[in-house]
Amino acid sequence: MARYVFITGGVVSSLGKGLASAALGALLQARGFTVRLRKLDPYLNVDPGTMSPFEHGEVFVTDDGAETDLDLGHYERFTGVSARATDSISAGRIYSNVLERERRGDYLGKTIQVVPHVTNEIKDFLRIGEDEVDFMLCEIGGTVGDIEGLPFFEAIRQFAHERPRNACIFVHVTLLPFLAASGELKTKPTQHSVKELRAIGIAPDILLCRSEHPIPEKEREKIALFCNVRPDAVIPAYDLSSIYEAPLAYHRAGLDRAVLDAFAISPAPRPDLRRWEDVLDRLHNAEGEVRVAIVGKYTRLEDAYKSIAEALTHGGMANRVRVRAEWIDAEIFEREDPSPWLEGFHAILVPGGFGERGTEGKIKAARFARRRRIPYLGICLGMQMAVIEVARDCVGLANAGSEEFDVETGQKRFEPVVYHLKEWVQGNRTIERKPSDAKGGTMRLGAYTAVLAPGSRAAAAYGTTTVEERHRHRYEVDIRYRDRLERCGMVFSGMSPDGRLPEIVELKDHPWFIGVQFHPELKSKPFAPHPLFADFVRAAVEVSRLV
């Protein structure tokens, strides 16, 4: 049965709990343990799938097709363990399960209450897969004291209480603000947030203290005394220049040691941190730099494309170069000529997105990359726009477009080179959709196989001819246009196994131009950069050497 580490946050939000959880997972792995990470989000959305990227950042998709919190991306990038649908839950989902069961009559006429019905539902969720790993790391979203969070805190309190001693611990992430006027770090907010936790029955075992300044020994002792934790369980967490420094930095600060101590695991297995030393070596000893333009819609919030930014960094690490990603709002190109904006970049990436806004700008970015022979990677919507660009400019379909935009406006303006998919095969089942379906959870979601054309650039980059990649979209490139697009030099280099759905397209007479219907960025890791990103950055390096 797994040991449980519950990670909570106090004082303020955005302290990097997700990153801390992910780094702790990596450290436990380095000591030879198996781990799984899980996120419990107190908001009432059933999942983040329908939330705007501006609200919530990127939606991270799992192999089994769940639309989850972006923290699951951190978990995967740090541990390499593929997240599952059962690793992410929200209060919305919990309540919806409880209400569904109430309607079915499962509770036999009882009055339904937060305790025990909602808390039981949360505890059932925590137990899923508990026999598969040594450690289950569960992060509670939000901050202690949030009204929505209370059932979750109550559930983890009960959970720990029901387990044998030494089976569960609590790590609380807090902030030590620095007051410039007095030149001091302040511990009071941390004391208060621990007090709040203790009031609801949770006594933290470890405090991970975010701070911009070194924490003096006497402050550490004070925190230990007032918060009732051991001094060596007060772990400083300073700001880092890269998130990938977190495992080694937290190790040096004693986090994994404190966790094993709290579980009374002795002797502690020695850690093997070579994977992270190599990652940092590649990161810090990069030779040269390439500039990649990301032409997208949600450029105001970097978290909206979190995995893409990380995958580019990984691609740089694979080539031992630094990747400078610069975000450009696609809408600018609807008003202005893209050339002055895109001149000087070594590669162009058009990411995924929804809705028509900005798409004409993305098409222009694809045109610039194609004509100027700049490496282009189009992801999901970025692939669809590249196909539309070629259809308009080369096939001669002046009003080629995506059905998505006509559905949005209720008009018939485009010839749908990209169309709404109503029925497809996943494994051995057929899935059907209607345009009137609800928005949440109804896209083509999760891992699908693509068969690659031998000799294609995609097959060369992957070094294989069958791949599994994650999807999240409603629309597909229509293969009825395949012949005409192929006559223009477009190669359908990756297809679904039944040959119906284009998964990858590329241009024959171009140094590097690939569009993918899936999201390769979701599977990239610092210690295993995604082959497409590695090859894309390699192509960018070649361009940078020419200029």
Does the protein bind ligand GLN through residue 297 (CB under 6 A)?
A: no
Residue of 405, 303, 407, 412 lying closest to 363 (CA atoms) = 405
Neighbours of 487 (CB within 10 A): 10
Instruction: With beta carbons less than 8 A apart as the criterion, state whether 385 and 362 touch.
Output: yes
Q: Which stretch binds ligand GLN (CB under 6 A): 64-72, 327-335, 473-481, 484-492?
A: 473-481
Write a three-state SS string for 105-121. Answer: CCCCCCCCCHHHHHHHH
Determine contact, residues 352/304, Cβ cutoff 8 Å: no
Q: How far is the CB of 381 from ligand GLN (least distance, A)?
A: 4
Among 33, 263, 368, 475, binds ligand GLN (CB under 6 A): 475
Is residue 354 near ligand GLN by the rule CB under 6 A? yes
Cβ-based neighbour number of residue 127 at 10 Å: 13
How far apart CA 266 and CA 264 sit, in angstroms, is: 6
Residue 476 CB, shortest distance to ligand GLN, in Å, is: 7
Q: Are residues 143 and 37 in contact, defined by beta-carbon separation less than 8 angstroms?
A: no
Q: CB 373 → ligand GLN: shortest distance, Å?
A: 25
The answer to whether 470 contacts ligand GLN (rule: CB under 6 A) is no
> In whole angstroms, what is the distance from residue 200 CA to residue 245 CA?
34
Label the pairing between strands 490-495 and 444-452: antiparallel
Among 353, 358, 361, 526, binds ligand GLN (CB under 6 A): 353
Peptide bond preceding 116 in cis form (omega within 30 of 0)? yes
In angstroms, the CA 156 to CA 138 distance is 9
Choose, by CB under 6 A, the member of 210, 473, 523, 530 that binds ligand GLN. 473
Residue type (1 letter), 390: V
Q: Which stretch, 102-110, 140-148, 238-246, 351-359, contacts ligand GLN (CB under 6 A)? A: 351-359
Find the helix packing angle between 306-319 and 531-546, rounded to 10°: 60
* DSSP bridge partners of 238: 211
Does residue 380 belong to the site contacting ligand GLN (CB under 6 A)?
A: yes
352 lines the binding site for ligand GLN (CB under 6 A): yes
CB of 379 to ligand GLN, least distance (A): 7
Which range touches ligand GLN (CB under 6 A), out of 46-54, 85-93, 157-165, 468-476?
468-476
Q: From 135, 192, 203, select the one nearest 170 (Cα to Cα).
A: 203
Binding segment for ligand GLN (CB under 6 A), chosen from 10-18, 350-358, 498-506, 507-515, is: 350-358
- Residue in 269, 4, 263 with CA at minimum distance from that of residue 129: 4
Provide CB contacts within 8 A for 411, sequence distance 6+.
none
Q: How far is the CB of 516 from ligand GLN (least distance, A)?
A: 10
Which residue lies nearer to ligand GLN by CB, 21 or 384? 384
Stated as kind and residue range, the H or E segment containing 347 is: strand 347-350
Asked about 139 being catalytic, the answer comes back as no
Smallest distance from ligand GLN to CB 446, Å? 13
- Please list the helix, strand and coil fractions of the chain in percent, rounded to the nearest 5, in that order: 40, 25, 35
From 117, 306, 474, 530, residue interacting with ligand GLN (rule: CB under 6 A): 474
Say if residues 469 and 396 touch (Cβ distance below 8 Å): no
| Residue 366 in contact with ligand GLN, rule: CB under 6 A | no
**Minimum CB distance to ligand GLN smaller for 42 or for 515:** 515
Listed in sequence order, the residues at least 6 apart from 337 whose beta carbon sits closer than 8 Å to its beta carbon are none
Contacts of 164 (CB under 8 A, 6+ apart): none
The residue (of 282 and 474) whose beta carbon lies closer to ligand GLN is 474
521 is catalytic: yes
Is 78 one of the binding residues for ligand GLN (CB under 6 A)? no
Give the Cα separation of 150 and 123 in Å (integer).
Answer: 14
- Considering only 256, 404, 415, 469, the residue that binds ligand GLN (CB under 6 A) is 404
Q: How many residues bind ligand GLN (CB under 6 A)?
A: 10
- Residue, CB closest to ligand GLN: 352
Q: Closer CB to ligand GLN, residue 280 or residue 381?
A: 381
- Complex with ligand GLN: residue 162 or 408, whichever CB lies closer: 408
Given 172, 314, 346, 519, the catalytic residue: 519
154, 314, 380, 389: the catalytic one is 380
Q: Is there binding between residue 381 and ligand GLN (CB under 6 A)?
A: yes
Minimum distance from CB of 171 to ligand GLN (Å)?
A: 34
Closest to ligand GLN by CB, 263 or 405: 405
298 lies in the site for ligand GLN, by CB under 6 A: no
What do you get for the CA distance between the two ends of the chain, in Å? 58
**CB 351, min distance to ligand GLN, A:** 7
- Catalytic residue flag (residue 277): no
Query: Which residues 6+ apart lie within 8 Å of 434 measured at CB?
Result: 422
472 binds ligand GLN (CB under 6 A): yes
Considering only the stretches 178-186, 200-208, 301-309, 470-478, report the one whose residues sit in contact with ligand GLN under the rule CB under 6 A.
470-478
Q: Enumerate the active-site residues.
A: 380, 519, 521
User: Which residues of this protein are in contact with ligand GLN, per CB under 6 A?
Assistant: 352-354, 380-381, 404, 472-475
